[in-house]
Structure formats: structure tokens, C-alpha cells
Structure 1
Amino acid sequence: MRFIRENTNIPVPEVYDAYTDDETGHVCIVMEKVEGQTLHEAWPSYNDADKETVVQQLRGYFNELRRLKSPIISCTDGSPCDDQYFDDDIGGYGPYTTEESFNQGLVRAWTKGREDDALIRFLCRTLLHNMQGHEFVMTHNDFAPRNFLVRASQVVAILDWELSGYFPEYWEFAKAIWRPDWDSPWMKDDLVERVLDPYYQQASVILNTSYTIW
């Protein structure tokens, strides 16, 4: 969050301290408390004008985020990727210097223990064939209204940056539509597609593969 605060105009809480708890091994963050309610809570009460105001703010912030680019795919600090699509082998995926090697990492994670499954191997070949030629941009990697704090129709903070990093440009969109609540008011209002540039083909490949595996 300090990196985002120092390099963008995106509203994030100020971080006062970060440390590892000696007893649990958990990383703890002491940060500013920002007053507001989550967009998940507020969205149903908005009229159309309020919704559009929030959409335009979020779109501006995510466009600003995407202007931060990297020659590698990694966490924000250049360390290995941290993402739900990878397994629990922390530190075992990346950083990647090419999109091809990132795709190979996904395939390795998704086929682990299922190398003989012909359908999964076919879907992974589809991924390897289609996912090429993307820029590596800063990605929040957990786009969800529960992570956006608002007061009235003003976005006052974007939270939960622990999975952020540099990923292929389609990644934010593909992850945002990975298992959301499709019956929620914000999904029915197409919030993801209104805020983020859509990458339908790439999202289709990722979702089809991941849904089949899981």
C-alpha cells in the first residue's frame, strides 16, 4: 500500500507499521482507519447517477494503476507471484520474465497431481496457445466491492492489496469475474465491465480451464 500511495493518486489507508508475529508467523499491518462503508453494502441504495459517479472514479483509479508497468510478472516487490490460482508452494511461481513462462507456471500448478487427465491437458494447451503478447501491468488482483470503501458516492479507499503485483494486462478482468456473486446487484449492473477494460477471450480461456479443474 505504501508503494501505491507513493506512486499513484489512488486512495489507500496509510500504513504505520508492518511486522511478523513471533508466535503465529502471521504478517500484521497497522494502518489508518478509513471511515465509510463497502461498495457491496452501498451499491443497492444508489440511484443511477450515484452508480455512474462511483464507476467513473474506479475506472480512473484502475486506469492509473495499469500505467505502472514492469518487464517481469511478479509481486509488487519483484518476489514470486502470490495468487489463488497457484497452489500453496509459496515462492515456487516466478518471478517470470516472459508471458510464456508465466503460462507454464499456471499449467504446472493446474496439472499438479492430474498429469494424466486428458481434458485438463487439452485446456492447458489452449491456454498456452492463446495467452501471448500482453503487457505486464500493476494489478490489484482482488477486484470486489467489499474492497472498495465509499462515503456517499465518493470512493475513499481501496483495500486488500496483498495479492497485488505485475500481471498480464487481462488478469485484473479475468480474476474479477472468477466466482463472483452473479446474482448480486453490482454484477447485474455490469460493474466489472464498466470499470475495467474487458478481455473476453482471455477471460473465457482462464475461466473455462479453472472451472473445469476446480
Structure 2
Amino acid sequence: MQRVPGEDLESVWPTLTNDDKATVCAKLKAGIDYLRSIPSQGFYGGVGATKRSYHLFWDPQGSRDICGPFQNSDEFNAALAKKLRKIYAGTRVCIDAKARFYEKHLGTMLGVSAPVFSHSDLQRKNILIDKVGDSVEVAIIDWETAGWYPSYWEYAIEFCSLQWIDDWPQCFEQILEPWPREAVAMRVLYQDLWF
């Protein structure tokens, strides 16, 4: 770990020129491509085959069925439906029907995707920019939820929190390969699990 200078991208984005934005996106893409080049460990989970630290997989009892690590995409998808059941256990009858829907269709909605190393919280507030003259340095911070996720995850989970108020969503697609089907499915599921 090291301390790096800079301001968060959320704050400075409106002040950047189009050339600066292109530079930031290119540097972020290079960094994400490097992460993707790390050979898969053959599971979905935290570094060292640990439990998921992402909040959608958090369980106070630490249940492996919800927290992982997971050996395949079926286990990964099943954990999300189990988390939904656990959140609403005994409170709402309609959740059982919704959980059954996800159990039946999540594999089709999200598909099968190889595990790749992901930051898993690539919001602008977690990207630092240090602009000195014509030079722009970029650093990604807040790695607590990083780990091995499906290939679509980084794009889809960011899609859940995108605010469509400026050009960031379009620029984000220069950084990460778009996964629109998986992004929409995750956004619906995210709302059920988090709100």
C-alpha cells in the first residue's frame, strides 16, 4: 500500500477536458485489462479462496452458501437467491415466489462467465486523479471488495449505481466491455437485495 496524491474522479470529472477524460479512461482500461490478465484461480471468491466481501454476499452467520467461495457460476447465482430468501425470511410471502423465479432463471439471465479478478467497486469516488500540467495520473482505491467474480461483474455491478447525469456512463464503456443483458438483470436483482 502507498499513499497517492489526488482528488476523487467524482469531484473533478466536470472540470476535465475531453482529452483529459480520454486519458483517464485509457489508463483505467489498461489497469482493468491488466487485472483481467491475472490467471483465474478457478473459483469465485475473495483473494486466497476466502469468502466474498461484497455486501450482496454478506451473511452474519458466514454461511458458505451465501458468502462463498463458489466453485462455479451455478453456486454463485444460487447464493444471490439464497441471500434474498434470508433477508426476507418469514416476512413476505411474495419473496418466496421471487426467489423461485431467480433460482430458475438467474443462470439464463447472467449466463456462465469465467472468474476474473475484479475491483468490484469501480465508482468514480474510488478513482483518484492527480493532474499536474499536461500529465494525468490515475489510481484506484478501496480494494476491500476485490476478488474473483464473473467476467460481467465489474460492468454490471457498476451499472447498478450509475447516475445518468453526465457522460460517465458512455466513458465507462471505453474502460470495460459492456455486458448490457447482465447489467440489467443485476440491477433488478440488486434492488431486490439492497432496497
User: TM-score, structure 2 length as denominator?
Assistant: 0.84
Q: Does 1:191 align with 2:171?
A: yes
**Counterpart position of 1:154:** 136
State the partner residue of 1:202.
Answer: 182
Q: Which runs of 5 or more residues in structure 2 are unaligned?
A: none
Is the contact between residue 49 and residue 69 of structure 2 (CA under 8 Å) also seen in structure 1?
yes
**1:96 matched to 2:78:** no
Please state how far the C-alpha of 1:106 moved relative to its aligned partner.
Answer: 1.2
Is the CA contact (8 Å cut-off) linking 1:137 and 1:166 kept in structure 2? yes
Output the CA distance in 2 between the equivalents of 1:211 and 1:149.
Answer: 28
Change (3 A) 1:106 1:59: same
Residues 104, 141 of structure 1: alpha-carbon distance in 2 compared, 3 angstrom cutoff:
same
Q: Is the 8 A contact 1:140 1:165 kept in 2?
A: yes
CA distance, structure 2, for counterparts of residue 80 and residue 151 of structure 1: 34
- Taking the aligned partners of 1:90 and 1:52, their CA distance within structure 2 comes to 44
Partner of 1:182: 164
2: distance between equivalents of 1:210 and 1:121? 16
Q: How many Å separate the matches in 2 of 1:44 and 1:182?
A: 14
Change (3 A) 1:90 1:136: farther
Distance between the aligned counterparts of 1:125 and 1:180, measured in 2?
A: 28
**Which deviations, in whole Å up to 9, do the C-alpha atoms of 1:92-139 show, x marking residues without a partner?**
211111111111111111222546422343244221333332110000
Matched, 1:80 2:51: yes
More helix by share: 2
> Cα offset for 1:149?
1.1
User: 1:147 and 1:75 mapped to 2: Cα distance?
Assistant: 19
CA deviations over 1:157-207 (Å, ceiling 9, x no partner): 210000000011001011111123332x353x5232221111111111111
Which runs of structure 1 show a deviation greater than 4 angstroms over 4 or more consecutive aligned residues?
none
Number of residue equivalences? 182
Task: Map Cα deviations across residues 53-104 of structure 1 (whole Å, 9 max, x no partner).
Answer: 1111111110111112220111012101111212333642111111111111
| Cα distance in structure 2, aligned partners of 1:155 and 1:83 | 27
TM-superposition CA deviations, 1:3-55 (whole Å, max 9, x none): xxxxxxxxxxxx2xxxxxxxxxxxxxxxx321111111221111111111111
Higher mean C-alpha displacement, 160-169 vs 46-55 = 46-55
2:82–2:99 contact (8 Å) kept in structure 1: no
Find the aligned partners of 1:97 and 1:155 in 2 and give their Cα distance: 37
**Alignment RMSD, CA only?**
2.0
Alignment equivalent of 1:70, drawn from 17, 35, 41 = 41
Separation in 2, partners of 1:99, 1:146:
29
Aligned partners of 1:100 and 1:128 also within 8 Å: yes
Cα separation, partners in 2 of 1:45 and 1:119, compared to 1, 3 Å? same
TM-score by length of 1: 0.77
Relative contact order higher in (CA < 8 Å, ≥ 6 apart): 2
Using the aligned pairs only, state the percent identity: 26
